[in-house]
Every structure is written in structure tokens, then in C-alpha cells.
Amino acid sequence: MYTGTHDNPTSRQWYEELPPYQQENLWRYLNSSQRHSDEVAWNLARLAWSSPAALAIAPLQDLLNLGAEARMNVPGRAEGNWSWRCTEELLGAADFHSLRDLTKSSKRMRMRPTPALEMAQAAL
């Protein structure tokens, strides 16, 4: 399950461009009391991470809660694509702590195998 691709607007941009009644429908679907554009990307990531799908993927722009300024590509537009770049300043520890917490709470985190576990698995 994924929240978007390089051809989509960021989740935040997508949400901000929705008419109010569709924004309300989204919040109802997400069963969320936090109804602000700065919460939509993480709510969608939580939905993806909580799915039974084998993989959960979100664009970095969504994990960093960026808007239209971080749009990667607009299909059918010949110029002005692929100009967004992630800078070191954008990569804050808080975002990665939140991602780690989400990954743990959704039971998607795999623990590193210990040498004893590796030996036991090899014996099978």
C-alpha cells in the first residue's frame, strides 16, 4: 500500500486542493479528530502502515509533511519537473523518530536477528 508516487501531488497539496466537503469526507473516513492540512500526510501514512499489505510506502515529501513546493513531477508537462531536492536541513530527527514509532506500533519493524536466532534458523 502506498500514499503516492512521483507523479502525484504530495498528500498535503492534494488535500489542500480538495473542496471542503471532500476534506470532511476524508477526515470521517480516517476517523480522525485532527482536521488540519498539516496532519493529513501522517494520517494517510498511518492508514498505509496499518494495512495488511506486505509493504507500506510513502514518498519522502509526505513523511516530511511538505506541500506543493515539493511536487516532483507533473505528467504531460515538458518542463519544470524533477527540480525538488531533499536537503540535509529537511531531514530532522523528529520525523524519523515518528516514522520509527509508526513502524513499531504497526508491527512492521523487523528486529535484527541475534547470532543464536540465526543458528537456530540455519538448523531448520
Distance, in Å, from the CA atom of 93 to the CA atom of 43, rounded to the nearest integer, reads 19
User: For residue 94, what is its C-alpha cell?
Assistant: 523528529
pLDDT digits 0-9 by tens, 33-61: 778 888 899 999 999 999 999 889 999 99
Residue reference for cell 466537503: 21
More confident residue, 121 or 86: 86
Distance, in Å, from the CA atom of 20 to the CA atom of 56, rounded to the nearest integer, reads 28
User: For residue 4, what is its C-alpha cell?
Assistant: 503516492
96, pLDDT greater than 80? yes
The mean predicted confidence, pLDDT, of the chain is: 85
